[in-house]
């Protein structure tokens, strides 16, 4: 007979709700910084100001890397970031439109005819040039964030498949060009350094007050049944196409994870119910 775990206590569920709130608050911190990030871009690339290129915030939120890459036109240039204090990670990404605009501006163009870049990638010369621009941009972004958040950024030039950040970092995506946006620049930062740099954003109610737990009992959480996972480089993710097969690490017949806000609540056995894939809960997670 299978022994089922007791449902999580309201106080335990409170931790999941609070963690989701921390992600939202970290995104709000980066959203508040977006005007400074836009100004830093203009300082690093003066031709943007001379051409009066609008820079607008598209969104600031936690986003899976695969979803973000899908929204960016290729080729994509990535530079890995290291955040201090705290040693957290991040990245800055330029899509094809942004790269074309940068190359045109640096080479003296007037913006009327941007270079067309093949999705397969940049040439060695283009990569070197954009890498140099990224270094200057990150330096200027770092100066801006140091003044407002006491946070500094350092970059290590890398290819997109080598850039490693959290699986769902906080992404601040800026569009260049207004309504007829030409390109996108995405600044990706882990949530912990953002919250540490802005302590008031991490202030939250503890689980000590049972009234708070009682209210949060009605909060809805997204439960995710994780049938398996695998680790791929960003290069391989970028190459995924419809029809490809992903071989998961879960063995047939093994229990799989049931998570809320990234934390495991149960283990379950895959089955079917009413013509749908289902999970039979087999064990609970303590803590």
The whole domain housing 58 covers 18-201
In this prediction, residues 188-192 reach a mean pLDDT of 89
Give the domain CATH number at 78.
3.40.1550.10
Residues 240-252: tens digit of each pLDDT: 888 888 887 777 7
| pLDDT recorded at residue 206 | 42
Phi and psi of 262, rounded to 5°? Answer: 85, 0
Residue 262 shares a structural domain with residue 153: no
- H/E element, 172: strand 170-176
Are 212 and 197 within one domain? no
User: Following DSSP, what letter does each residue of 207-257 receive, concatenated?
Assistant: TT-HHHHHHHTT----EEEE-------HHHHHH--TT-----SPPTT--EE
Query: Quick one: 169 and 80 in the same domain?
Result: yes
- 51-68, pLDDT tens digit by residue? 889 999 999 998 888 888
CA distance 30 to 61: 8
**50 plus 190 within the same structural domain:** yes
Residue 115 is given by DSSP the state: P
Q: Is pLDDT larger for residue 144 or for residue 248?
A: 144
Flag whether pLDDT at 4 surpasses 90: no
Highest mean pLDDT of the ranges 7-16, 122-131, 148-157, 175-184: 122-131
Whether the full predicted model's pTM is greater than 0.75, yes or no, is: no
Number of domains observed in the structure of the chain = 2
Would you say residue 267 has pLDDT above 50? yes
* 3-state SS class at 182: coil
Encode pLDDT of 19-46 as tens digits: 577 788 889 999 999 999 999 999 999 9
Residue 237, both tokens:
């993710």
Residue 220 burial (10 A CB sphere; 0-12, 13-18, 19+): exposed
């Amino acid at each position: 007979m299978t022994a089922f775990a007791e449902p999580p206590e309201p106080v335990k569920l409170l931790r999941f709700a609070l963690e989701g709130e921390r992600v939202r608050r970290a995104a709000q911190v980066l959203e508040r910084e977006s005007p400074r990030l836009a100004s830093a871009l203009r300082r690093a690339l003066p031709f943007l100001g001379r051409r009066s290129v609008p820079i607008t915030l598209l969104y600031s939120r936690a986003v899976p890397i695969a979803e973000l890459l899908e929204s960016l036109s290729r080729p994509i240039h990535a530079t890995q970031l290291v955040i201090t204090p705290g040693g957290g990670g991040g990245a800055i990404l330029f899509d094809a439109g942004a790269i074309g605009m940068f190359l045109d501006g640096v080479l003296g163009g007037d913006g009327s005819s941007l270079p067309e870049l093949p999705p397969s990638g940049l040439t060695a010369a283009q990569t070197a040039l954009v890498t140099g621009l990224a270094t200057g941009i990150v330096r200027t972004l770092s100066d801006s964030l140091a003044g407002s958040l006491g946070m500094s950024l350092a970059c290590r030039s890398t290819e997109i498949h080598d850039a490693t950040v959290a699986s769902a970092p906080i992404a601040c995506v800026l569009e260049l060009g207004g309504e007829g946006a030409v390109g996108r620049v995405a600044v990706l930062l882990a949530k912990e350094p953002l919250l540490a740099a802005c302590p008031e954003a991490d202030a939250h109610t503890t689980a000590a007050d049972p009234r708070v737990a009682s209210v949060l009992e009605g909060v809805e959480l997204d439960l995710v049944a994780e049938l398996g996972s695998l680790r791929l480089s960003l290069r391989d993710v970028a190459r995924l196409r419809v029809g490809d097969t992903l071989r998961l690490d879960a063995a047939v017949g093994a229990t799989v994870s049931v998570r809320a806000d990234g934390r495991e609540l149960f283990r379950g056995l895959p089955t079917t119910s009413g013509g749908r894939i289902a999970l039979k809960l087999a064990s609970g997670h303590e803590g």
